[in-house]
A and B are shown apart, each in its own frame.
Chain A
Amino acid sequence: MARFAPSDPVDFVVVGSGGAGGILAKELSTRGMSVVVLEQGPHVGPLDFHHDEFKHFTLAAYQNQRQLQPQMFKAGPDAEAQPRMAVMYHRMVGGGSMCFTANYRRFRPLDFNERTRLGPIAGTGFADWPIGYDDLEPYYTRAEWELGVSGEPGPFDPPRSRPYPMPPLPVKSSGVLFERGARAIGLHPQPAQMAILSQPFQDRIPCQQCGYCIGFPCEHRAKSATLYTVLPVALASGRCELRTECFVAQVETDDRGRVSGVVYFDSQKVQQRQRAKAVVLCCNGAETPHLLLNSGNNRFPQGLANSSGAVGRHLMFNSNAIVTAQFEHPLNDWKGAMVTRIALDFYDTDPARGFYGGGALDGRFFGYPLVYAMRGAPPGTPKWGAGFKQALRDGYCNQMDVLCEGTSLPLETNRIELDPDLKDAWGLPAMRVTYRDHPDDLATVGFLQTKALALLEAAGATRTWARPPAPQNFGVHLLGTCRMGNDPATSVVDSDHRAHDVPNLFICDGSSLVSSGRGQPTATIQALAFRAGERIAELAKKGQI
């Protein structure tokens, strides 16, 4: 690994080492650029990873934490702000790519030009992207082949230039039942595309079917996280230094309004300053706008790169809901990679439904032991005692969920701001999150729930239940807050991910998305990162930064 002095301006500082930052680090360093990656979380690896729900969920060992980074939440623009953790992300080398379920679906052409196809939607920031599916297709392919994705062509796939690098994972009982039910109600189920290896790939072994995907890093290195794929390449380039437990407080600008470096707190909370010729923010859709808003100065009074006022706005969580079912025989769905079958029949908006939106269904079981004991038993189960215990005994091995994954409309009022009062552990203004789903988003997942219910009943469920969709007050998909666009008055970055206002500041993560897709944004975030890396390096080589 390279080492750089903070006083020497490196070509790029990349803030964040997650799904996007890891790729940018590799793409820039292997194209001859010097790169310092600053990651707020620790550098941990497979030997640190156990199936310890209490550590991972309850104590948030590798997530943003209320003690370090408290948040305020408003359940809508007119609601009162309450202290509450409303957005969650992973703070560790590899970031969210370590702990996501690993669904890996491309967006379709319609996700990029839906505004033109459907027309405006009043009261929303519904917009087309400045790029289309064809622009991104080569980079979806690179992501699949460089990171390692399993899957096979499905009936609704967008065009692809290369097949999947490896076949789908073996089907589980939830997948068998999902497929049976889906076909019975006339749908077209297909194997799930997953960023999990089904075969040996590069230097990694395939999935060992331990069952711990969502919320957990993979102890077998079979999930294609940036820690296991692109970051080692970046570090081996000799031009990339990774500094961990470093929290970036501010992006600094010079008197010409250009970025000159970043100020950060190291693991000892000592303030440091890394000089850089350019900065790339890959912090995620909550922390990237938070950092920009905290980087305001006399020249940039609304926060850095925010002359449009769009920084932090148009936050999209992806609408979602669950339907749960029990079956006569054991599924043992706590074993194995989480999702093996999906259905994309309801992807497109159907005007006949009377509302905007579409989505996907996937079969899975969110049933780690502690999670299940806390919330998995059917409605009406006693809170305690023999009846409670019996319900846990009866349900655990015989239960599955269908997750309904839907759209979120971009709303100006759903946003990340600085809280006027609350401070974080570094003394900086903390994040205030405002979120209320658009009625169409709730209608979309409500519609998907009726289909999931029919699917599970057709599969032979002995019992089904669902909680009606309710406005979300907690998000893990953090999208849209520094949206890409051609117009500097309404967007934050251009189609090269360059900030309209600051020529040597780039932003690439979930915040770049203009629309929310159908519940699975990671493939698109990572395709954008491969594309951004290539384009930013080109600009640098041409002296255009």
Chain B
Amino acid sequence: MSYDRRDFLTLAGTALGALWLGADPKALRASLTRARDAREALARGDAPPPFEVLTPEQAADLEAIAARIIPTDDLPGAREARAVNFIDHGLATWAADRRQDLLDGHAAFATAITQRHGATQRFADLSETQQDEFLAVHEDDDFFEDMLFFAVAGTFSYPDWGGNYQGAGWKILGFDDRYIWQPPFGWYDAKQNGGPN
């Protein structure tokens, strides 16, 4: 089992423990190979890879949920980060054992939408206001807790894993992924050392 929501929540109080979940090494190796393939595919073109697990309807809903968790404003959100591709790739690889739970959770969620908004309605079709109202009612459900993890991980994880497309999540934070920096680093050390602010 590579990802356990309860462990994630209970470990979240400790510094390193927050993200330490443990993985099946075989699944990890397979996933790393796919990550490399995905990276090479990205280098060839901008189109997102085809979904490995999700149906178009499931993908549309999960993307819409992620987009309400990290909405788009003047900076990109989970949608631009392609968090849904991270989720899909994860369900095919490192989170394969979570696949059924997540899809079952989504099915129940979709049913609740039809009960509230009509038999032909899907979450992705609702207005943002309706979406937020619905999520606020369901924010303690296991499915939404899972989606919180996946949306955040899909937006801020290293791009090799299928999300954080073109560093979308890093732009939200003001982070720049370089391997070499030089002082001054910030306002305070620049000021102390007389460098440019």
Q: A-side interface residues toward B, CB under 8 Å?
A: 50-55, 57-61, 63-68, 84-85, 88, 170-173, 175-177, 208-211, 214-215, 219-220, 320, 322, 327, 329-336, 366, 369-375, 383-386, 388-389, 392-393, 396-397, 467, 470, 472-474, 476
B165: interface (CB < 8 Å):
no
B139: interface (CB < 8 Å):
yes
Chain B positions 77-122 with a Cβ under 8 Å from a chain A Cβ:
77, 94
Q: Are A384 and B69 in contact (CB under 8 A)?
A: yes
Neighbour of B28 across the interface among A61, A371, A383, A384, CB < 8 A: A61
B161 surroundings in chain A (CB, below 8 A):
54
Using CB atoms, name the residue of chain B closest to A470: B13
Give the interface size bracket for B toward A: 35 or more
Q: Are B18 and A215 in contact (CB under 8 A)?
A: no
Q: How far is the CA of A51 from the CA of B176 in the complex (A)?
A: 11
A220 surroundings in chain B (CB, below 8 A):
179
Q: How far is the CA of A369 from the CA of B176 in the complex (A)?
A: 10
Q: Are A173 and B189 in contact (CB under 8 A)?
A: yes
Residues A383 and B11 in contact in the complex (CB < 8 Å), given A51-B177, A369-B169, A393-B172: no
Neighbour of B32 across the interface among A55, A60, A170, A397, CB < 8 A: A55
B19: interface (CB < 8 Å):
yes
B47: interface (CB < 8 Å):
no
B146: interface (CB < 8 Å):
no
Using CB atoms, name the residue of chain B closest to A403: B15
Using CB atoms, name the residue of chain A closest to B19: A57
Using CB atoms, name the residue of chain A closest to B94: A59
Chain A facing B: main interface SS: loop
Q: Are A59 and B18 in contact (CB under 8 A)?
A: no
B40: interface (CB < 8 Å):
no
B156 surroundings in chain A (CB, below 8 A):
369-370, 372-374
Residues A396 and B19 in contact in the complex (CB < 8 Å), given A54-B161, A61-B28: no
Neighbour of A210 across the interface among B132, B160, B178, B191, CB < 8 A: B178
Q: Are A329 and B185 in contact (CB under 8 A)?
A: no
Q: Are A384 and B158 in contact (CB under 8 A)?
A: no
Q: How far is the CA of A328 from the CA of B174 in the complex (A)?
A: 15
Write the nearest CB–CB distance from A83 to chain B, whole angstroms: 9
25 A-B residue contacts at CB 8 Å?
A51-B179, A52-B160, A54-B158, A57-B20, A58-B20, A65-B24, A66-B22, A67-B1, A88-B20, A171-B189, A171-B193, A173-B186, A208-B179, A209-B180, A209-B183, A220-B179, A335-B186, A374-B153, A375-B12, A384-B70, A385-B68, A385-B71, A385-B132, A389-B73, A396-B173
Chain B positions 157-172 with a Cβ under 8 Å from a chain A Cβ:
157-158, 160-161, 169-170, 172
B193 surroundings in chain A (CB, below 8 A):
171
B16 surroundings in chain A (CB, below 8 A):
57, 88, 214-215, 474, 476
Q: How far is the CA of A171 from the CA of B185 in the complex (A)?
A: 9
A322 surroundings in chain B (CB, below 8 A):
15
Residues A55 and B158 in contact in the complex (CB < 8 Å), given A176-B189, A384-B135: yes
Write the nearest CB–CB distance from B158 to chain A, whole angstroms: 4
Q: How far is the CA of A544 from the CA of B34 in the complex (A)?
A: 54
Residues A373 and B69 in contact in the complex (CB < 8 Å), given A59-B94, A66-B22, A67-B25: no
Q: B-side interface residues toward A, CB under 8 Å?
A: 1-3, 7, 10-25, 28, 31-32, 68-71, 73, 75, 77, 94, 132, 135, 139, 148, 151-153, 155-158, 160-161, 169-170, 172-175, 177-183, 185-193
Q: How far is the CA of A58 from the CA of B153 in the complex (A)?
A: 9
Q: Are B14 and A330 in contact (CB under 8 A)?
A: no
A88 surroundings in chain B (CB, below 8 A):
16-17, 20
Neighbour of B170 across the interface among A85, A211, A329, A369, CB < 8 A: A369
Using CB atoms, name the residue of chain B closest to A179: B192
Q: Are B186 and A329 in contact (CB under 8 A)?
A: yes
Q: Are A384 and B139 in contact (CB under 8 A)?
A: yes
Q: Are A393 and B68 in contact (CB under 8 A)?
A: no
Most buried by A among B148, B177, B188, B191: B188
Write the nearest CB–CB distance from A390 to chain B, whole angstroms: 9
Q: How far is the CA of A57 from the CA of B19 in the complex (A)?
A: 5
B23 surroundings in chain A (CB, below 8 A):
58-61, 65, 67
Using CB atoms, name the residue of chain A closest to B14: A474
Using CB atoms, name the residue of chain B closest to A366: B15
Q: Are A331 and B186 in contact (CB under 8 A)?
A: yes
Using CB atoms, name the residue of chain A closest to B132: A385
B132 surroundings in chain A (CB, below 8 A):
385
Q: Are A52 and B158 in contact (CB under 8 A)?
A: yes
Q: How far is the CA of A57 from the CA of B12 in the complex (A)?
A: 12
B186 surroundings in chain A (CB, below 8 A):
172-173, 329-333, 335, 397
B185 surroundings in chain A (CB, below 8 A):
172-173, 209, 331-333, 335-336
A332 surroundings in chain B (CB, below 8 A):
174, 185-186
Q: Are A63 and B19 in contact (CB under 8 A)?
A: no
Using CB atoms, name the residue of chain A closest to B65: A384
Q: How far is the CA of A333 from the CA of B71 in the complex (A)?
A: 26
Q: Are A210 and B69 in contact (CB under 8 A)?
A: no
B191 surroundings in chain A (CB, below 8 A):
176
Using CB atoms, name the residue of chain A closest to B185: A335
Give 8 new A-B contacts, CB below 8 A, not counting A209-B183, A336-B185, A470-B13. A53-B19, A61-B28, A67-B24, A209-B182, A209-B185, A210-B181, A370-B156, A397-B173
Q: How far is the CA of A329 from the CA of B185 in the complex (A)?
A: 12
B157 surroundings in chain A (CB, below 8 A):
52-54, 58, 370
Q: How far is the CA of A211 from the CA of B183 in the complex (A)?
A: 12
Q: Are A176 and B175 in contact (CB under 8 A)?
A: no
Neighbour of A383 across the interface among B32, B148, B183, CB < 8 A: B148
Using CB atoms, name the residue of chain A closest to B136: A385
Q: How far is the CA of A147 from the CA of B181 in the complex (A)?
A: 23
B174 surroundings in chain A (CB, below 8 A):
330, 332, 393, 396-397
Q: How far is the CA of A467 from the CA of B15 in the complex (A)?
A: 11
